[in-house]
Amino acid sequence: MNFTQLLAAVRERPEAVSVPANWAQGRAAFGGLMAALVYEAMRARLDDARPVRSLAITFVGPAAPEVPIRFEVEVLRQGKAVSTLLGRAVQDGQVVTLVQGSFGFGRASEVEFSALPAVPMKPLEQAAAELPYIQGVTPEFMRHVALRWAIGGLPFTGDASRQMGGWVRLRDVAEEPVNEAHLLALVDAWPPSLLPSLKRPAAGSTLTWTIEFVQPTPRLSTLDWCRYCVETEHARDGYGHASAALWTAEGELLALSRQTVTVFA
C-alpha cells in the first residue's frame, strides 16, 4: 500500500489498520506515517473544514508493522473557532502514538509578519544524488520517500555541522494536492539531526515532536520537491533538541517543527 492508500484505509476502517512491512523504520512503523494516520483519523472527526494549526506528537512505543492498529479520537473541546482533539494509535492494548491537535479558523487581525526567508541551499540540480533505497541498509520506508542532501552530512559520517537538510518528496504516489498529512511524512522522512555527528551506526529516534502548519497550505503537488533544514540546538546525555522548517521549492514556508530526539551512542 502506498501513502494515499493508507490514508484512505484509516478513514474507512480506523478500528483496524495494519502498516505494511515496507513502511518500517527498524522494528517500528515509520513515525511520520503513524503521525499522518492519527492526524487523518482526527481530521475525519471534525464537523467542518477548520484547518489544523499545530500537532503535538509523542511516540510512546514502537508500532509493529503487519499488526492491526486501532485509531481512537476524542474531541476535547469544539469552540466557535478552535477545536482541540486527542488522537491515539493503540496496538495490542497499548498506546503507541499520541497526538494532541489544535484546529482553528482564521480571524481578522492587525498583526501580520511575513515568514523568515528559507535557509539557503544548493539548487535541486546541484544537490547530491537521490539517496537510494538499499535493502538491509536504509530503513524500509525509504522506498517511499526521496531525499537529496544539500546541507550538512549523511548519518554516521562524523559531520560537525549543526544543520542538515536538502530536498524531499514522496516517491510512489499519484499526483494530487498536498495536505498536512503529506507534510508530516516529508518532515519526518529525515533522520534524527544527531546522526550525522556520529562516526559509526547507532540507533536514534524521535521522542516528541511538535509541528505547526502555515495556513492556508500553499498550492503544492505530491510530485513537487520541497526544501527542508533542521538545526540541532543542544545535545547531551543521549537526547537532542532540534528545530526545523519545510518550504516549497520557491521558498514559501509550509511548516515549522521541533523535535526531542534520542540517540544510543
CATH number of the domain at 26, please. 3.10.129.10
Domain identity same for 128 and 246: yes
Q: What is the pLDDT along the chain (265 residues), one digit of tens a residue?
A: 999 999 999 999 999 999 999 999 988 999 999 999 999 999 999 989 999 999 999 999 999 999 999 999 999 999 999 999 999 999 999 999 999 999 999 998 999 999 999 999 999 999 999 999 999 889 999 999 999 999 999 999 999 999 999 999 999 889 999 999 999 999 999 999 999 999 999 988 999 999 999 999 999 999 999 999 999 999 999 999 999 999 999 999 999 999 999 999 8
Q: Is residue 66 part of a domain?
A: yes
Is 92 in the same domain as 130?
no
Task: Please check whether residues 133 and 257 belong to one and the same domain.
Answer: yes
Same domain (yes/no): 88, 146: no
Domain that holds residue 97: 1-105
Q: What is the pLDDT of residues 150-185, one digit of tens each?
A: 999 999 999 999 999 999 999 988 999 999 999 999
pTM for the model: 0.95
- Residue 152 amino acid letter: G
Q: Do 148 and 257 lie in a common domain?
A: yes
Does residue 111 lie in a domain region? no
* Cβ-contact 48, 91 below 8 angstroms: no
Residue 113 inside a domain? The answer is no
Neighbours of 260 (CB within 10 A): 15
- Alpha-carbon gap, residue 225 to 158, rounded angstroms: 27
In this prediction, residue 42 carries a pLDDT of: 98
Residue 188: burial class (beta carbons within 10 Å; 0-12, 13-18, 19+): buried
Residue 149 grid cell: 542532501
* Co-location of 96 and 157 in the same domain: no
